[in-house]
Amino acid sequence: MTPAEARAALDRLGAAGGDLPDLVEAALLLAVIDAPDADLAAARAHLATLAAEARALTAVSVEARAAELAALLAGRHGYAGDSETYEDLANANLLRVIERRRGLPVALGIVWIHAARAAGWPAWGIDFPAHFLVAVEGADRAVAVDPFARGHAPSPGELRAMIGRIAGEDAAIHPGLFRRMRDREVLLRLQNNIRMRRLRAGDLAGTLACVEDMLRLAPDATPLWQEAGLVHQRLGHARAAIACLERFLSLDPDAEAAAQARTTLREIRATLN
């Protein structure tokens, strides 16, 4: 599969809306764009093996299910977080994660969700602000596990420490921090890691490409249209910037950033006169 073919497939997923038919396959499409030389067939074969092995799992309680998944993914196949080269873009590319068995929490989480669902166990991403987690459901409840830490279930104290790193030591744990994510949101969080790293590195063209690929998957993601417009502006693409900012305002004319977007539009249009 070529990057152009992957982008066309993402366009179709974006146009279809609703729930994604296959989380891991959509993640592979995104990965192909940035790693066209990677072995897609080998990755799919490995994911099929994981699914087959997961279907043999038999746990009932949520603790046992989490333990069996950890034994399969972290134990048998060696998946774990990459603490040594955390900022490496390969950690957010599913093809490279499968090759290396190392990655960011959300990339590893996609593998965990894939295996859990193959076992017939409901699983989903948790939009924890400081660190992506995965929920695995048992007979009567769900538990949050950390794929980066080989499936460890964080204690309340550990969760407070995580959120404290970005919200201060007095930050409280509340149910809103454990919002259940749709699969499309999980992929946007995955790609956001790439977007932020490229932006910090000053790679505006790469940042724009990432944002545009995110918009293929989620064409109504309002903030992304604004960001695309601003990056186009910085790159000197006046007409593309205007188109993106107009799209942003058409989707959410009352957004908090709408006034600034209108000001930016006027400034860009003035350069065309």
- Break the chain into its structural domains and give their ranges: 3-181, 220-272
Reported as type and span, the H/E element at residue 116 is helix 105-118
What pLDDT is attached to residue 75?
Answer: 97
**CA separation for the pair 248, 250 (Å, rounded):** 6
Q: Which 3 state secondary structure label does DSSP give 153?
A: coil
What tens digit of pLDDT does each residue of 115-169 get? Answer: 999 999 999 999 888 789 999 998 788 899 999 999 998 878 887 877 767 666 6
Among 24-28, 172-176, 206-210, name the one with the lowest average pLDDT.
172-176
Q: Cα dist. 17→20, 112, 166, 219, 221 in Å? A: 8, 24, 33, 9, 12
Contacts of 50 (CB under 8 A, 6+ apart): 72, 73, 77, 111, 114, 115, 118
Query: Quick check: pTM over 0.75?
Result: yes
The residue with greater pLDDT, 272 or 146, is 146
Q: Quick check: 82 and 103 in contact, CB under 8 A?
A: yes
**CA separation for the pair 210, 255 (Å, rounded):** 23
Q: Quick check: 120 and 55 in contact, CB under 8 A?
A: yes
**CA separation for the pair 151, 108 (Å, rounded):** 10
What pLDDT is attached to residue 265?
Answer: 94
Strand intervals (E) in 111-231:
123-126, 133-137, 142-145, 180-181
What tens digit of pLDDT does each residue of 250-262 get? Answer: 999 998 999 999 9
Given a cut of 70, is residue 103 above it in pLDDT? Answer: yes
Beta bridge partners of 136: 123, 143
DSSP 237: -
190: tokens are 């995955």
Reported as type and span, the H/E element at residue 103 is strand 102-103
83 phi and psi, to 5 degrees?
-85, -25
Given a cut of 90, is residue 29 above it in pLDDT? Answer: yes
What pLDDT is attached to residue 162?
Answer: 78
SS3 string of 3-24? HHHHHHHHHHHHHHCCCCCCHH
DSSP 257: T
Closest listed residue to residue 110, CA positions, set 128, 132, 83: 132
